[in-house]
Amino acid sequence: MSSQVTTAFAQQYSANVELQFQQMGSRLRKYVTEDPMGAEYKYFDRIGTVSAKLKGARHADVQYSDTPHSRRRITFEDFYHADMIDKEDKLRMLIDPTSEYVSTAVAALGRQMDEIILDAALGTAYSGKTGSTSVSFPAAQQIAVNYVESGSAADSNLTIGKLRRALSLLESNEAIMEGEPLVCVLNANAKQALLRSTEMTSSDFNTVKALVNGELNTFLGMEFCRTELVRQDGSSYNRIIVMPKSALKMAIAQDISAKVDSIPHKFHNYQVLVEMSVGATRMWEEKVVEIKCDPTK
């Protein structure tokens, strides 16, 4: 029950309901691959790489190779947000608050979707025939907080050198397909650190002139997606992510849906209910790079 709705009563406040500052919906959804889901678990099969064999003598027997085959499992979870609006509250208002309640709820589930994506990128994936084998994010795909391209190691925030190292890791893994979007997921703290870089303020290095309007667009072939939901590790370092779209799979059993119903046993008050059922997994460790960044630098 929303006990604070009386703050919008017309005799006390203006007729405009302002939504609190918040991330409105998912920002990361477009950077992952989606699939529908109709069961408790969904499995995605993976085919590994093979090597060619040299043909031997004439009339020699064919030598067969086992093609690597593995799979990843997604478990979906159900999320919702619900609130109640009394009929009397609606009568006392000059406006109907229902749409704002729905917008706020949809925004909450959109942010939850981004949290699922971020946790899937860096968390434990599940492999094997039944998805019972846990796969941790490897240290080989992490860029240390004190990484420098040359000179003495020193803790830093997000730098051009760290971005170049991330790109190098992905290219070394042949993890980027031609034409596939590559995204860097960062927060405002890391973004500002990057904007302070000499190279990012130079048109020689930044052809998109990101500083004209104070925003990053693309750099080193990467798009930049800002969200304050960026995870931190046990040392309070920001875990910035660089990955192509094919790195993660998101299965959607039920997309975000909203309903506003009159509830008879609640004196026909109005219930706002927003629901979704989704899950995600990291498909390939080689396609995700984590950059550790010190937010104090």
The domain spans of the chain are 141-248+287-293
pLDDT at 160 over 50: yes
Task: For Cα atoms 161, 28, 216, give the angle at the middle one, nearest 5 degrees.
Answer: 45
Average pLDDT of the segment spanning 69-88: 87
Of 162-176, 222-236, 257-271, the one with minimum mean pLDDT is: 257-271
Amino acid (one-letter) located at 235: S
Going by pLDDT thresholds of 50, 70 and 90, the confidence category of residue 216 is low
Q: Does 7 score more than 60 pLDDT? A: no
The CB density around residue 180, as the number of other CB atoms within 10 Å, is: 12
Cα(253)–Cα(233) distance, rounded to whole angstroms? 30
pLDDT category at 95 given cuts 50, 70, 90 is: low
Token output for 208: 């998109």
**Are residues 164 and 221 in contact, defined by beta-carbon separation less than 8 angstroms?**
no
Q: What is the mean pLDDT of residues 268-279?
A: 88
Confidence of residue 188 (pLDDT cuts 50, 70, 90): very high
* Model pLDDT, residue 103: 83
Give the pLDDT band (50/70/90) at residue 199: confident
The least confident of 1-15, 19-33, 215-229 is 1-15
Looking at the predicted structure, is the pLDDT value of residue 98 above 60? yes
pLDDT at 213: 56
Contact indicator for 229, 170 with CB cutoff of 8 Å? no
| 167-171, 233-237, 258-262: the lowest-pLDDT one | 258-262
Q: Which of 94-98, 222-226, 246-250 has the lowest mean pLDDT?
A: 94-98
Average pLDDT over every residue of 26-50 = 83
Report the run of H or E that residue 289 belongs to, with start and end: strand 289-293
With 80 as the cut, is the pLDDT of residue 185 above it? yes
Residue 123 and residue 231 in contact, taking contact as beta carbons nearer than 8 Å:
no
Quote the distance between the C-alpha of residue 58 and its chain's center. Answer: 54
